[in-house]
Structure 1
Amino acid sequence: MTKESPERAERRRRQKEIADGLKGSGALDDIFAKIDAGEPLTGEQGLLGGMLKAALERGLGAELTEHVGYDRGDADAAEHPNSRNGTSPKTVATQIGDVDLAVPRDRDGTFTPMLVPKGQRRLDGLDGMIISLYAGGM
């Protein structure tokens, strides 16, 4: 039997802590109910794809908020030189299937997302992390 590296032990401990926190809070109850009902985890109709889409779009929205300097719906929006300007569709390939995103944009065209950079059509690490978090909670 080989000894586990300190980095791996810490990663496993952190994943377990996150999974236990999510389970304990009840945040995953609806998702577990859907899994128990037979909904697929991966593929076009998979739960992980929907979760990944929601997480990425929320992150992209937060990036745009930081870029333009105000939250969506703020009354102060007119005081800022740049403003929100809808979204553009983008499909990214992931290990769990294609994910269709609504990428926010700004009026000046200066917003460059870091979470899903312009021109990137494949996500490699993020979906693997989500799958490992889910697996750690099982």
Structure 2
Amino acid sequence: MGRIKSLNKWANTHTNYPIDILRIALGSFLFIKGIDFMGNTQVIMEFIKPIQSMLGGMLVISYIAPAHFIGGLLIVFGLLTRWAVFAQLPILIGAIIINFVGEMDTMNLIITMLVFLLCLFFLFYGSGRHSIDKYLKMQQ
């Protein structure tokens, strides 16, 4: 009986690893996209070309790359995860709209929808058990 209790206790403490790995993968993807957008501003200009008349072009470019770069780092470490995800949502909604207004790229749409759904999940779920947010909360 003691063996079953110890296995159950181990399972309860280690069940959040897949969710933490998913959070780290999402943050890494956003971080890499941020680096990519910083190096290739023409890519962002091509993406926002269909709606450039509605938005300030430089304002959008100045927001997208740093939001992905810094937000991705914060999500990887689990620090201010909900705020970092909340900063990603307008970018992802804009990317979904651009796919329907401009030239339809199915692969970009699928990736954007997947990242959007993951961001919505972490907006409600939070950082997870193995994060800096949880560590700082336990130190209080």
Q: Tell me the TM-score normalised to structure 2 length.
A: 0.30
Which structure carries more helix by proportion? 2
